[in-house]
Structure 1
Amino acid sequence: MIARFKDFEINPVHNGDAWKICDFVIANETRLKRYFPKTLEQNLNPTLSRFYVESKVKQFENQELFLFTLKHSETRELAGLIILKELNWEIKQGEFAYCIGYTFEGQGLTSEAIQHLSKYAFNELGLETIQIITHKANLQSVKVALNNNFKWRKTLLNEFTPNGEAPLDMELYELRRTSKY
């Protein structure tokens, strides 16, 4: 376990998570299809989810990508997923992506999970800079970045193209390692 807070815990993905991730993705399909299309298409049924989780466990072990689950400690219900991706070990940088289930939004869980995982990324993984890239209209994601002292750096022109849409400009936020971590 990476962290526990407010009856929730953050854990590295493990092979037993496939069914929960499949259920989570299907239940939250509408909110995932724009910004998490690959995660969605890789988890549309239990078999796909099993392959997805197996690959993410291997990537975690190889420090290529880190997928974390946010679950309710008692019920074990999957509340959200947090991914530390785009890792560059030469400059010690990574990027967070995250999604929270409909039934758990508005509780500050994502902000708190990012706080704990930022400490983990700095102290356990040795990263120096963590990024969050979000669309300016995704106010909840912007709030997560600001709640965790990520600083706006710049607008990334045509950074992300949702399926069937024109490219979108995205906002880059960064948190750099400080002595408080």
Structure 2
Amino acid sequence: MLLNFGTYNIEPIQEKDAWKLCDFVISNAERLKRYFPKTLEQNSTPDIAAIFVSKKVKQYSANQEFLFKLTEKEHRTIIGLVYIKNTDWNKKQAELAYCIGYQHEGKGYITKSVKGLSTYAFDHLGLTTLQIIVHKTNMGSVKVARNNGFTWQKTLLQEHTPPGEAPLDMELYELRNNSPEHLPRTSRF
């Protein structure tokens, strides 16, 4: 387990999570289709989800992309996901992307998760800049960024194209941490 938040945990995705991930994605398909279309498509059946999870476990081991699951302690169900992705080791920069199940929206789980994983990214991965890219109408996601100290940098023109829609301008938020206490203590892992 990586982080413990009382009623839920944050852990890296594991091979055994394929069925649970498929359940999460299918039950939240409407929420995911606009901003997480690839995650939705690649987890639409348990067999496809197994391939997806296997790929994510390998990417995690290779320090390429890090997918974390938020798991409810009582029932061990997946209630959300947080990616640390688009990692640029030369710039010591990565992007955070997140989603929460409809039943758990508005409870602060993603805000706390982003805070915990930001600290993890600074302390253990040695990153110094984290980015969140959101659409201006996604007020919940904007609030998560602001509540975690991310500051607006600029509008990214035609940054994201949802399925069946025209390209959308997205807002870039960043959190920088160059302080000595957040430089890596050891190697990346």
Is TM > 0.5 for Structure 1 vs Structure 2?
yes
Aligned length: 181
The AA in structure 2 aligned to 1:145 is: A
Taking only aligned residues, the RMSD between alpha carbons, in angstroms, comes to 0.9
Alignment correspondent of 1:19: 19
Alignment correspondent of 1:68: 68
Alignment correspondent of 2:109: 109
| Alignment TM-score, normalising by the size of structure 1 | 0.98
Deviates more, 1:171-180 or 1:29-38: 171-180
Q: Any gaps of 5 or more consecutive residues in structure 2?
A: 183-189
Deviations 1:92-132 (A, max 9, x none): 00000110000010100000000000000000000000000
What does residue range 59-98 of structure 1 map to in structure 2 within 5 Å?
59-98=59-98
SS in 2 for 1:10: strand
Give the Cα–Cα distance (whole angstroms) in 2 for the partners of residues 6 and 32 of structure 1: 26
Give the Cα–Cα distance (whole angstroms) in 2 for the partners of residues 124 and 53 of structure 1: 23
Shift in Å, 1:177: 1.0
The AA in structure 1 aligned to 2:120 is: Y
Give the Cα–Cα distance (whole angstroms) in 1 for the partners of residues 6 and 136 of structure 2: 28
Aligned residues of 1:2 and 1:120 also touching (Cα < 8 A):
no
Give the Cα–Cα distance (whole angstroms) in 2 for the partners of residues 45 and 159 of structure 1: 29
What does residue range 124-163 of structure 1 map to in structure 2 within 5 Å?
124-163=124-163
Give the Cα–Cα distance (whole angstroms) in 2 for the partners of residues 77 and 38 of structure 1: 21
Q: Any gaps of 5 or more consecutive residues in structure 1?
A: none
Give the Cα–Cα distance (whole angstroms) in 2 for the partners of residues 153 and 8 of structure 1: 32
| Alignment TM-score, normalising by the size of structure 2 | 0.94
Give the Cα–Cα distance (whole angstroms) in 2 for the partners of residues 2 and 128 of structure 1: 20
